[in-house]
Amino acid sequence: MKSAILLILVILATAFQNVVKKVYGNKTEGRGTYIFSSLVCVAAAVFFALTDSDGLSFSAELTPYSIVFAVGYAAITVFSVLALRAGSLALSSLIISYSLMVPALFGMIYYHEPTSWTLYVGIALLLVSLALVNKEDGEITISLKWIIYIALAFLGNGLCLVVMQIQTVDFAGELSNEFMIIGLAIVAVAMAIVSVLFERKEITPCLKKAGLLPVLNGAANGLANFLTLALLVIMPASLMQPLNSAGGIIVTVAISIFIYREKLSVYQLIGVLLGTASVVFLSL
């Protein structure tokens, strides 16, 4: 029961993040991405600091994990905003959910996890899904810019999932808050520097339009990652990740259709359904 409640909260928090990013991208016309990302990281880091009940205890051993996590987190934070601005909320969320393949493949190679027929079924469904969602005879079309953004977001999210899993295993679920705080702090500083260098004239106007969106996104991000780390301790990743991804796809697609009035073609809708099924099969 506890696992189910936590999983539902993770799904809702993840979907909420995508909606907030979409709103911000629309309000600012895709500008101020780096300053938004920096503030999101600050808010998420504050969340992890406030939710630590045992007192923060930083260790130098965490630094390598946090640095690698920071690279992936920076990619998913920046390029998911750009992808959601350049394309569909439903399709962008679907492709990012495919990053489940990254830790699955990593587990097969690094941990020598056995393969099964469900893996091959999942890959086959995934390939068919990709072909269908990229058909352009519906009202949602695919651009080269969106493809680049979503590919980088995909790789970044996959890297984050892998590092979080490794850190949880290596530290037996301990020091997770500190690991996240260090990684988030690195990204926050890096994004702030990049923003000053390349978005100096856009910072103030974008922040005025953004309002509390960065704080809301950061809090939701912190909650999703915090609960994901908790679930990795009490639930097998092979069960948690597909349920999380499939649930996230369903919720986000519902939001994109009923709130944003995005109209998917029949092919794209079938692709979303097959993509949801592929995510489940990939880790059974």
Give the three-state DSSP class for 230: helix
What is the average pLDDT across 123-134?
A: 71
Structure tokens at 74: 């920076």
In a domain, 281, yes or no: no
Q: Where are the alpha helices (DSSP H) in 134-258?
A: 144-170, 176-198, 203-210, 213-234, 237-258
Is there a domain that residue 85 lies in?
Answer: yes
Domain total for the chain?
Answer: 1
Beta carbons of 48 and 222 less than 8 angstroms apart: yes
pLDDT at 98 over 80: no
Q: Taking residues 212-234, what's their average pLDDT?
A: 84
C-alpha torsion sign, points 207, 212, 215, 220: negative
Decide if 76 is inside a domain: yes
Q: Give the whole-angstrom CA distance, residue 172 versus residue 49.
A: 20
Tell me if 119 is assigned to some domain. no
Mean pLDDT of the 108-123 span: 71
Better-predicted residue by pLDDT, 157 or 275: 157
Domain-embedded: residue 153: yes
- Please report whether residue 262 resides in a domain: no
Which residues, including other chains, have CB under 8 Å from residue 1's CB and lie 6 or more apart?
none
Q: What confidence score (pLDDT) does residue 95 get?
A: 80
How much is the pLDDT for 175?
53
**Sign of the four-CA dihedral 67, 68, 74, 77:** negative
Percent of the chain with pLDDT over 70: 83
> Greater confidence, 140 or 14?
14
- 60 in any annotated domain: yes
Domain that holds residue 210: 2-111+144-237
Highest mean pLDDT among 22-26, 48-52, 153-157: 153-157
Decide if pLDDT at 136 tops 60.
no
Nearest 5 degrees, angle CA 85-CA 86-CA 88? 85
pLDDT in tens, 141-198: 678 888 899 999 999 988 988 888 788 777 776 657 788 888 899 999 999 999 999 8
pLDDT band at 72 (very low <50, low <70, confident <90, very high): very high
What contacts 38, CB < 8 A, 6 or more positions away? 187, 188, 189, 191, 192, 195
DSSP state of 199: -
Residue 92 located in a structural domain: yes
- Inter-residue contact 243 to 8 (CB < 8 Å): no
